[in-house]
Structures are given as C-alpha cells and as structure tokens.
Amino acid sequence: MADTQERLLRTEYSEIMQKSYIDYAMSVIVARALPDVRDGLKPVQRRTLYDMYELGIRYDRPYRKSARIVGDTMGKYHPHGDSSIYEALVVMAQDFKKGMPLVDGHGNFGSIEGDGAAAMRYTEARLQKITQEAYLADLDKDVVDFMPNFDETEKEPVVLPVRVPNLLINGAEGIAVGMATSIPTHNLGEVIDGVIAYMKDPDINTEQMMQYIPGPDFPTGGIVTNKDELKAIYSTGVGKIKLRGKVEIEKLKGGRQQVVITEIPYTMIGANIGKFLNDIFALSENKLTTDIVDISNQSSKEGIRIVVELKKGADAENFCNLLYKKTRLEDTFGVNMLAVADGKPETMGIVPIIRHHVNFQYELATRKYTTLLAKEREKKEVQEGLIKACDVIDLIIEILRGSKTVAQAKACLIDGVTEGIKFKSAQSEKDAAMLKFTERQATAILEMRLHRLIGLEIEALRKQYAETMQNIQTYSDILENRASMAKVIIHDLKDLRKEYAVERKTVIDNVEEAVLEEKPIQVEPVAILLDRFAYARVVDMATYERNKDAAEEESKKILFCNNVDKLAIFTSNGNMHLLKVLDLPFGKFRDKGLPIDNVSKFDSSKEDVLFIEAIPNLKNQKLLFGTKSGMIKLVAGEEFDVSKRTTAATKLGDGDEVVCVGMVHESDTVVMQSEDGLFLRIDGITIPEKKKAAVGVRGIRLGAKDSLKAIYILAEGDNRSVKVKGKEVVLNRLHIGNRDTKGVKR
C-alpha cells in the first residue's frame, strides 16, 4: 500500500472567518433578502410564482390548496422551510400590503388589523390575471435564462420576464446582512407613464420623471406630507417619507363632534392599529386630554373607520394635532431603494431603477423576437415546400407508391435519388431526379394529410404563407431597428395600463407640521405606591388618605411629590435613571401598576434598584453611596437634578458595585456590615462630601477576601437589629468608632 502524504495549509484564522462571513453575507443578500432590480422579486417570490405557473394554476382555472403550492415549491426550488414560502404567498395576495397583488387568494389571508392568515391547509390560491400576462408570459420563448435547481433535477428561471417595473409598483422590504431594503409602493399607471417617458427621452432627470411619478402610492391611502423632500429621496434612493392618516370631523347632535380616521399610514398595518387605539386611550389615562368620550373601531371589509367621540365644546382640530404628535397617525416611512443589479447590491434612485427595467425589456424583446423569427422562418420553409409539393403532387404520389420504404421516398424528395423506386414513365423518373426539397420540407410532405389537397386548403396555405412572410418582415424590422422595438414595448405597456391601472389612493402634498396647543397640566400633589415587584402606580392624595392603612401595608415604598415631578432611580451598577411621574398610570387605588422598567431605561435583568426618590425631595439633602469594596461618600442631592434620562450617579472601580444609597442627616449614624460579620458604626458627619464623579473614601478596612454586605442609616432612637449566625445584633448599641478602621466582630 503506497504511503499517503498530508498537505497542511497554514493560514490566518481571521482571514478564513472574514472570507466565510463575506460569502455568507453575499449569499443572504443575493439569494434571499433583496429583490432583483429586473423583476422586483426575491428568490422565494419568484420560485413560488413560477411553481404556480408550472402547476397550471392560472387565473381562469380553479383554485388549488396553498399547501400543494408550498410543498411543490419547497420540493423543487426552495428547500428552506414551508413557513417562508407560505408567508411570501400570503403577502403577494394581500391587497393592503401590495400595490398590485400577484396572487388571488381564496380563504382567510389575514387582515389589515394584524390578523394572521389561516393555515396553508385551509387556504387556496391561483395566479392573478396580471401576473400571468405581465409576469409569466413568454417563458416558452427563451426570453430568460434557466438554471439548475438546488439538486439539479429541475430548471428554474434566473429572473421572470416581468413587463412592468414591479420593484416600484409593489415595493420591497428585506433585511440582509449589514444592509436592508425598504421601497414604497407606487401607482401602476403612473409608473408605466414614467417608463414610456424614459424610453422616449433616456436623458430624463429625476425632476422631469416626477411629473409622471409624483410620489409613492400606498394601498392604505393616507397623505404624504413632505412633497418637497421627495425629489432628494428619488434622486439618492434614500430618505424619509412623512405619512399621515386621513381624518374627517363629523358633527353629531347636541353640538358634539367626532373624529373619524378613514385612512391610515402604511406603517400602521397590522398590530399597530391595536397599538394606535391603546395610544389614544393612554392620552386620556395620562390626562393629556380630557376631551375623549368614546373610542370605537368600526372598520370592516369596506375600509378603515376608527371613531373617537369628543365631548361638547372640545377643539376637534387641536385634538387631531394631538393624535399626529402623540400617536402613529403621523409616521415616517424610511426609504432605502436597495436592490440586486448586475449581481451586486446597489442603492438607486428612481431613474436608474427605470433604466435597468427598460434595458431588461429590450433584452426580453430581443430574445422573444429572435425566437419568433426563427419559428417563422421554419414555418416559411415548410410552407414553401408544401406549396411546391401541391404543384407536383401527382409526381410525389407516384414516388410514394413506387417506394418500398419511407427513407427511400425521403431520399428521392431531398436529393433526387430514384434508385429502387418504380415509376410509371421515364419522364416521371427524370422529373423526380430534379427534386430538391429540404429535410424539413420532405418531413412535412410525408406527414401531409390528403385533405390538404382540397382547393380551399391550398388557398389557405398560400394565405398563411403570406402572413408568415409579413411576420418575418415585422420581426426582422423589430430586431434591426431599436425604434421599432421601442414602439412594440410601448404598445404593450399601454395595453397593460389600459386594463390594470387604478386611481391613485395616496395624496401628495406639503403639509405644515401639526402645532399642538397643549393645555398646561394642573399641578397637584400625589402619592406613588411601589410594591415589592417594582410595580408603581399614582393616586391623588384624597385617594391615598382614604386607603392609607392598606397602602402602607401593601406597598414596599410610598413617595409623596407633585404629578409633574421626576423620580430618580438609583441602581447597583452606579446608574441613576429618571422617570416622569406622568409616565406612570394614574387612577384608582386598586388599579394595577406598571413595572418601572417599562417606562424608564432601567433594566431589571442587569441591575437592582437600591433607592427611589422624587428629584425635588433630594434638594438640600445628602446622599450616602456605599460600595462592595468598602468605599463611601456623601453627594449633594442637587447634583442629580439633570435632564438626561440615564446618568452615572457615582464612579466605580473595576468589578465594584453599589450596595447602598440613602439620605443621611447630621445626627444620623452609619453602620457598615461586612460579609465576614465585621460591624463598624461611625457618625454620618465624619463621611466626606464628594462630587458624584468621585470614587469616595474607604469606610471600613476589609480583609483580602471580605466585602461590604450592607450599610444601615440610623436616626436617633432607631432600635434596628440584624441577625448574624443566629445572634441578634442591636445596631445602635455598637460602639461609635472611626472611619477606615476594621470594626468589631459579631
């Protein structure tokens, strides 16, 4: 057995990782997340539509189960799980997400309010008519390249021969690795007009193009409010479109009014409608408005209708401005027109997208008419042979009757070989030797049926030949003259526009920013109740006084301040988080509170709350900070009256953390307890005052493996005690010592 030698290739691990990650990223970008600029489809969408085409699920045929489509697509073209395929199928059928739905769904395909589609075993689908005519037509004419599928058992198109700029009409959303695409939907008729304008003038600029395509057209309607910014967005392919819902103010009996939302921003599709209703309710809960009497969602298949009934005398216009400011009735749509062009991702403006589309149309037309011309030339050859055969039909019949085999007769027709064939006369044999039919003509003659010899049939053959010659002339002209090809493409586009164009739904305008005349909040004293689970709620002082005993029994901490104040939350990692009292739920005593980490930047999974107090209550106070390493300091409460929502409350060494934050008065004493059971009691006034950015001074001298466990602040007469190894230690009986000493063992 021969010795085998191993070759070791040494390389940098970082280089392998970099190359592998780039390869992975490009695979996700090109083969999954981003659409192709030519057909505006992601691979999963393209494969699903092609599979439906292959299965014959046309617009004029019965629906087929979605599960059948999904299973076939997954088995043949897209082996990445059924959920991604079904999700793509559902989205292509939803008229509230797509400018032009490509799939005709039958059954529950979800709703604009966020209801999901039924399982694929319940729903059915088939192609829309426009999909068949403008997306999948001419696949049999070699207009696009085909590539092997994942296991090389099937062929799939590299791109679909889409005849309209689907990337603009249906938009696109996708998150790749390191990049994302977000393209708004547009009006089919306007986009076709833009394509025709570009074909007539390839030097057209963005401003001129916007005369045909003034802006996006969302299926949910609404209003684009920043018309003047659209030129920059369409030039660069990047920007933010500001959207508003459509609002109507209806008058009711008794002088009351109601605000009716009839169209929503595109960004509100789905669960955001429910959030919008909750946000309106929260406006009343948080006393930002007292004008709301009732909220109802009366939306149906006919359209969106969200009704907010206002009390008598309410300013409806100002209430609408409040909705624009405080809810998602006014929102932004981030535009990033990123697509795969020439095999790589590229951010493009509207004119380059149309340029790519038009170049693709010329390529499709060239391949289509090259294929058609070849077929017409084949027909011409056959028709010429049949016409010629009709003129010498008696001779051909004589050859066929005298031949022993088909091959013998065929050889005579093509090359005039008469050997072995019985002729009635020498003249017939001489005439047969003169025959020069082509291979294709000879095959057609041999397959010709006798009824083609009827006079009318011969006349029809001559007519077909004339039509074939006309077609050859037409196709040759289209292929040789770009102007003729452009004329054909434009004609097809106009036919599609005539049949499928719809009215624009989205209004495009310059709308002034909503100005909200906020009524000043009436300042009133409140009580904040915090339970042991860090849930907080706010009640007015009258409610607190009525339920004082229950409040003190059920609450871990009670704070008193004004409703416009802020709370300071001090945590174990040295941070201070600010929280507006107005952000907490205000209501009845028995109402459920809200976790404070839901309304502040405090993260309960990473830090513990040590101390909470209202900012005004910290003025003229000294806050004690004690850390695990035994460092202590006092900080003036005024230092924490800041505007940032999160700030560092103290400086910590590496691996250190805060174990105590509390207010200290002049007469208080401070007791420090270590993990090893050391206790040191000192006077509070002996602790130096430092800035919040300082580390502090050593409070207790700890052993190498010891750390500070707790700090207790004792007022005069405070008889608190703690248990250590089963013994009770009364804290105020401890001897008062000096700071930075070891303390006593207990």
Report which of residues 446 and 534 the model is more confident about.
446
As a whole number, mean pLDDT of residues 460-466 equals 90
pLDDT in tens, 263-320: 999 999 987 888 899 889 888 877 778 889 999 999 888 889 999 999 888 889 989 9
**Which of 581, 580, 596, 607 lies closest to 533 in space, CA to CA?**
596
Domain endpoint, select from 115, 131, 161: 161
- Tell me, yes or no, whether 561 and 696 share the same domain: yes
As a whole number, mean pLDDT of residues 536-546 equals 90
What pLDDT is recorded for position 29? 60
Residue 222 belongs to some domain of the structure? no
As a whole number, mean pLDDT of residues 619-647 equals 92
What pLDDT is recorded for position 455? 65
Does the pLDDT value for residue 4 go beyond 60?
A: no
**Which of 319, 372, 698, 669 lies closest to 514 in space, CA to CA?**
319
Domain endpoint, select from 144, 161, 178: 161
The alpha carbons of the chain give a radius of gyration, in whole angstroms, of 41
Please give the share of the chain, as a percent, with pLDDT higher than 70: 96
pLDDT in tens, 379-437: 999 988 888 888 888 888 888 888 889 999 999 999 888 888 888 888 888 888 899 99
As a whole number, mean pLDDT of residues 321-346 equals 92
**Which of 435, 429, 369, 372 lies closest to 403 in space, CA to CA?**
429
1 pLDDT tier (thresholds 50, 70, 90): very low
**Which of 206, 239, 238, 241 lies closest to 222 in space, CA to CA?**
241
Burial class (CB within 10 angstroms; exposed 0-12, middle 13-18, buried 19+) of 459 = exposed
343 pLDDT tier (thresholds 50, 70, 90): confident
Residue 557 belongs to some domain of the structure? yes
- Tell me, yes or no, whether 150 and 295 share the same domain: no
- Tell me, yes or no, whether 729 and 610 share the same domain: yes
* SS3 at position 360: helix
CATH number at residue 541: 2.120.10.90
Whole-Å CA distances, 159 to 140, 341, 488: 14, 12, 22
Count up the domains in the chain and report the number.
3
Residue 507 belongs to some domain of the structure? no
- Tell me, yes or no, whether 554 and 677 share the same domain: yes
- Tell me, yes or no, whether 710 and 578 share the same domain: yes
- Tell me, yes or no, whether 140 and 264 share the same domain: no
Does the pLDDT value for residue 681 go beyond 90?
A: yes
pLDDT in tens, 66-111: 999 999 999 999 998 899 999 999 999 999 999 899 999 999 999 9
The pair of three-digit structure tokens given for residue 70, joined into one six-digit string: 């999904």
Does the pLDDT value for residue 637 go beyond 90?
A: yes
Mean per-residue pLDDT over the chain, rounded: 90
What pLDDT is recorded for position 429? 85
- Tell me, yes or no, whether 619 and 730 share the same domain: yes
15 pLDDT tier (thresholds 50, 70, 90): confident
- Tell me, yes or no, whether 250 and 157 share the same domain: no
**Cβ contact 117:110 at 8 Å:** yes
Starting from the edge strand earliest in sequence, which strands make up the sheet with 575-580, in order? 609-614, 566-571, 575-580, 646-648
Residue 468 belongs to some domain of the structure? no
Q: Round to whole Å and give the CA distance between 95 and 280.
A: 27
Please give the share of the chain, as a percent, with pLDDT higher than 90: 62
Does the pLDDT value for residue 601 go beyond 70?
A: yes
- Tell me, yes or no, whether 580 and 720 share the same domain: yes
What pLDDT is recorded for position 232? 96
* Displacement of CA 278 from its chain's centroid (Å): 23
* Displacement of CA 360 from its chain's centroid (Å): 27
Report which of residues 472 and 13 the model is more confident about.
472
Q: Round to whole Å and give the CA distance between 380 and 368.
A: 18
The pair of three-digit structure tokens given for residue 122, joined into one six-digit string: 């319940």
- Tell me, yes or no, whether 150 and 255 share the same domain: no
Q: Round to whole Å and give the CA distance between 94 and 410.
A: 59
The pair of three-digit structure tokens given for residue 460, joined into one six-digit string: 């029809």
Residue 717 belongs to some domain of the structure? yes
Q: Phi and psi dihedrals of 545, rounded to 5? A: -60, -40
Residue 337 belongs to some domain of the structure? no
As a whole number, mean pLDDT of residues 218-235 equals 95
Q: Which amino acid is at 159?
A: V
Residue 494 belongs to some domain of the structure? no
CATH number at residue 143: 3.90.199.10
Residue 372 belongs to some domain of the structure? no
Q: Round to whole Å and give the CA distance between 628 and 449.
A: 104
* Residue 711: how many other CB atoms lie within 10 Å: 21
- Tell me, yes or no, whether 147 and 266 share the same domain: no
513 pLDDT tier (thresholds 50, 70, 90): confident
Q: Round to whole Å and give the CA distance between 91 and 117.
A: 10
**Cβ contact 647:594 at 8 Å:** no
DSSP structural state of residue 36 = B
As a whole number, mean pLDDT of residues 677-693 equals 92
Q: Phi and psi dihedrals of 742, rounded to 5? A: -75, -25
- Residue partners of 437: CB distance under 8 A and separation at least 6: 385, 388, 389, 413, 414, 445
What pLDDT is recorded for position 423? 86
Burial class (CB within 10 angstroms; exposed 0-12, middle 13-18, buried 19+) of 320 = buried
Could you give the count of Cα atoms lying within 13 Å of 538 in the half-sphere of its Cβ? 24
596 pLDDT tier (thresholds 50, 70, 90): confident
Domain assignment of residue 72, given as a range: 41-161
Q: Round to whole Å and give the CA distance between 529 and 665.
A: 24
213 pLDDT tier (thresholds 50, 70, 90): very high
The pair of three-digit structure tokens given for residue 609, joined into one six-digit string: 């709350």
As a whole number, mean pLDDT of residues 702-714 equals 92
Tell me which of 469-478, 601-610, 617-626 is least confident.
601-610
- The residue whose two tokens read 């963005």 is 206
pLDDT in tens, 126-185: 999 999 999 999 999 999 999 999 899 999 999 999 999 999 999 999 887 778 899 999
Q: pTM score, two decimals?
A: 0.71
DSSP structural state of residue 741 = B
- Tell me, yes or no, whether 686 and 540 share the same domain: yes
CATH number at residue 263: 3.30.1360.40
233 pLDDT tier (thresholds 50, 70, 90): very high
As a whole number, mean pLDDT of residues 498-514 equals 91
Q: Round to whole Å and give the CA distance between 568 and 555.
A: 18
- Residues classed as catalytic: 122
Does the pLDDT value for residue 661 go beyond 90?
A: yes
Domain endpoint, select from 273, 296, 328: 328
